[in-house]
Structure 1
Amino acid sequence: MGKKVKIGIGICVGLLLAVILVVGGYVVYMQAHFYRIPDHTALAVENNREAVLETGHTYTAVTYNVGFGAYGPDYSFFMDTGEMKDGTKTQGIYGKAVSREDTEKNTSGSVRILNNLNADFILLQEVDEDADRSYHLNQVSCLKESFPDYSSVFVNNFHTAYLLYPFSDPHGAVQAGLLNFSRYKAADAIRRSYPVDDSFITKFTDLDRCFSVMRFPVKDGKELVLVNSHMSAYDEGGKIRVQQLELLNSVMAEEYEAGNYVIVGGDFNHAMGEAVAEGFATEQKFPAWVSVLTSEELADGIRMVRAENELDVPTCRGADIPYIKGVNYTTVVDGFLVSANIRATAENIDADFAYSDHNPVKLTFELMD
């Protein structure tokens, strides 16, 4: 074996060892920073209000996934994939927002929409507290400042060390979660942990899924139990979402059987009924990530509030390509579940995905005697 060959082999071996050390070191780094937040963790209610709910009055609530301020119409996300009807495969490109300015613009736009809706309760998902993907814009603080006359409850459901993927635009480190606002007095709030996929790679990249449970006294001696939920996406076969729905059903059933009023709002990552699963014009094929939530799957005494305009206004767009109305796959995955002792109607708000890959949903409800 010649000297040059030996040198070449030595270089290759050295490079291989360097790669192994780098990859191994990164895995150790991720594992060292990995944790799950315990179930039943108490949550702080900040700026609590004094007004108390009553039966026979009309109230409003809004749910809105603000997409960490990234999803303007031109945005596509690296984890989203799809297929056009002509067979062309599609996949998003960005791992974080396009820029700090874009994040600020989209966050401000979402605030304007929420201000115009003027709801008594606001349930938000994908709100960043400190994250590389949103250029460290503290959306939690920005939103609290925008709604000074509301109480607020924040619950973390995504905490990760620095994610190097995608290599072209790393997602980075993230602290983010659900943010709730209310004009009415809250008794307490807790964090309930959803079952999640804890397989070796997925556990580092998936959210620490959860839902917040807030209790509001009602003058009749009962409580309004208000839940903000964000269920799993990218769940092939829907196995994790089935487990999550079982837990949510058990909580809803227990509270309703105790005589309380129950409202669950949020991003269910399920099409809210079969009618909306394929109910909108699109140039894309039906995507594999869509599961359908039906009324038959809900606990006794719990119903899905179908928006009166559900076939006219979708609430979620596919983010595998930039948004063009009538091209992207769209459906309704956001909305509300309520107990039988609540009279309620809903409206999907047509923001045309201007500031997020979701549109808000507004619930109008009355607690019945």
Structure 2
Amino acid sequence: MTLAKKQGNFYRRTSSLLMQTIFLTLLFFTGILSASIFWAASPNGLAFEESGLITEKEFEAPLPQPQSLKIITYNIGYASGITNNQAIHWPREEIEKNLNEIAQNLKKENADIIGLQELDFDSKRTHGINQMEFLQQALKLPYAAYVITWNKRYLPWPYWPVKIHYGRMVSGQAVLSRYPITKQDILAYPKPASNAFWYNWFYLDRKVQKLNIQIKEKNISLWHAHLEAFDPKTCLEQAQALSQNIQKENLTHSLLIGDLNSVSFVKIPLSSPFNKGGKRGILEERKQALEWILNNTSLKNAEEEPFYTMPSWEPIKKIDHILHGPGFTAQNISSFSSLASDHLSLIVQLTIL
């Protein structure tokens, strides 16, 4: 064999070995990346169920047949104040301060049923505080129903800087009640099809709690919802599915409460940035989901006059709602002022017919 042929064979073997090394290296790192993503997007092992009913017997007390009910819906924004979803770190003291303010305000209202959205149960961003437990204990309401809607081992968001990543995420929503919650069914909806598949791996679930609440001889059906916030088409589809479920029941004493991410009223000053770039029009379009529910069920919105709940420091829109069936009439619609969340509460006194 000539020297040239030997050199050619050597170069071919070397090139082949190099390609194999590059391929195996890429395969190795792809495997590591895939395993990391799978691990991060998978749910945490929890010390409690994904949904459930809780009774604190020490808070139970004999109750007369009520003539009315005070209902509150409140998106507490994980008790992160007006900086909810921003790329910052919240000290534990700030979360506890906001939770105490929320508890004190709710305690003053002495409500019968409270729907709470954006609650953390065991999340790194809020220092592992079980916010539902905190509020139930503070308010001494004996009955609770909850559902986990976001359970990820590691949430890499906000994207940058890495030290701000939320990490372990266990959050959801809950209803606290003075009256027994006898049953809970969970309605789960698909994630937005417009999201990238990998984005939906980490995205929260949208779930509705359907509760039976026993108020002496009356059985109240309550749907507690937090519908899609960022994709109007998905929000409308969820509202359509929810309306179908509500209308199928067709109950006189029925309630739908929560953050529906669909406006009933919009108030935007000319100086507001929402008046620029077509943003006002976007908000106006977000009426569709709420209008679908009102047009396709027997439910009625509690307020008739303009009322605003978001953002808490300068409310310009109402996306938090209490809808009621024909077995109730609404009165005394109000809220309390607080910057412990980016939402204001919505409080309604309902007369039972």
TM-score tier, shorter chain, comes to: 0.7 to 0.9
1:140 aligns with 2:132: yes
> 1:246 offset after TM fit, Å?
1.4
Instruction: Give the AA of the match of 1:331.
Output: K
Higher relative helix content: 2
Q: Which runs of 4+ in 1 moved over 6 A?
A: 12-19
Quote the Cα distance in structure 2 between the aligned partners of 1:34 and 1:183. Answer: 31
Map 1:349-364 onto structure 2 (within 5 A): 349-352=335-338, 354-364=339-349
Q: Measured at CA, do residues 24 and 61 of structure 1 come closer, stay the same or move farther in structure 2, by a change above 3 Å?
A: same
Quote the Cα distance in structure 2 between the aligned partners of 1:280 and 1:45. Answer: 44
Normalized against structure 1, the TM-score is what? 0.75
Give the alignment partner of residue 299 of structure 2, picking from 293, 296, 302.
Answer: 302
1:246 aligns with 2:240: yes
Map 1:265-344 onto structure 2 (within 5 A): 265-271=257-263, 273=264, 276-279=265-268, 282-284=272-274, 285=276, 286=279, 288=282, 291-292=286-287, 293-295=289-291, 297-298=293-294, 299-306=296-303, 308=305, 310=307, 314-317=308-311, 325=314, 330-344=316-330
> 1:28 offset after TM fit, Å?
2.8
Aligned length: 317
Structure 1, 277-286 or 120-129: larger mean CA deviation: 277-286
Measured on the aligned residues, the alpha-carbon RMSD in Å equals 3.2
Contact 1:64 1:125 (C-alpha < 8 Å) held by counterparts: yes
Larger radius of gyration between Structure 1 and Structure 2: 2
Unpaired runs of at least 5, structure 2: 1-14
Instruction: Give the AA of the match of 1:335.
Output: H
Quote the Cα distance in structure 1 between the aligned partners of 2:293 and 2:143. Answer: 33
Give the alignment partner of residue 345 of structure 1, picking from 331, 335, 346.
Answer: 331
Instruction: Give the AA of the match of 2:219.
Output: E
Map 1:161-176 onto structure 2 (within 5 A): 161-165=153-157, 166-168=159-161, 169-176=164-171
1:123 aligns with 2:115: yes
For residue 229 of structure 1, what is the aligned residue in structure 2? Answer: 225
Q: Measured at CA, do residues 187 and 33 of structure 1 come closer, stay the same or move farther in structure 2, by a change above 3 Å?
A: closer
Matched residue SS, 1:108: helix
Give the alignment partner of residue 56 of structure 2, picking from 38, 43, 47.
Answer: 47
Q: Measured at CA, do residues 260 and 203 of structure 1 come closer, stay the same or move farther in structure 2, by a change above 3 Å?
A: same
Instruction: Give the AA of the match of 2:184.
Output: A
Contact 2:209 2:223 (C-alpha < 8 Å) held by counterparts: yes
Map 1:185-196 onto structure 2 (within 5 A): 185-196=180-191
> 1:183 offset after TM fit, Å?
1.0
Q: For CA contacts below 8 A with separation 6 or more, give which structure has more relative contact order.
A: 1
Contact 2:105 2:336 (C-alpha < 8 Å) held by counterparts: no
Quote the Cα distance in structure 2 between the aligned partners of 1:138 and 1:251. Answer: 31
Give the alignment partner of residue 199 of structure 2, picking from 183, 197, 202.
Answer: 202
Contact 2:154 2:169 (C-alpha < 8 Å) held by counterparts: yes
Quote the Cα distance in structure 2 between the aligned partners of 1:252 and 1:51. Answer: 31
> 1:25 offset after TM fit, Å?
3.2
Normalized against structure 2, the TM-score is what? 0.78
Structure 1, 197-206 or 144-153: larger mean CA deviation: 197-206
Matched residue SS, 1:184: coil
Provide the identity percentage. Answer: 20
Instruction: Give the AA of the match of 1:93.
Output: A
For residue 77 of structure 2, what is the aligned residue in structure 1? Answer: 67
For residue 24 of structure 1, what is the aligned residue in structure 2? Answer: 34
Quote the Cα distance in structure 2 between the aligned partners of 1:76 and 1:151. Answer: 28
Instruction: Give the AA of the match of 2:266.
Output: A
Give the alignment partner of residue 178 of structure 2, picking from 179, 183, 192.
Answer: 183
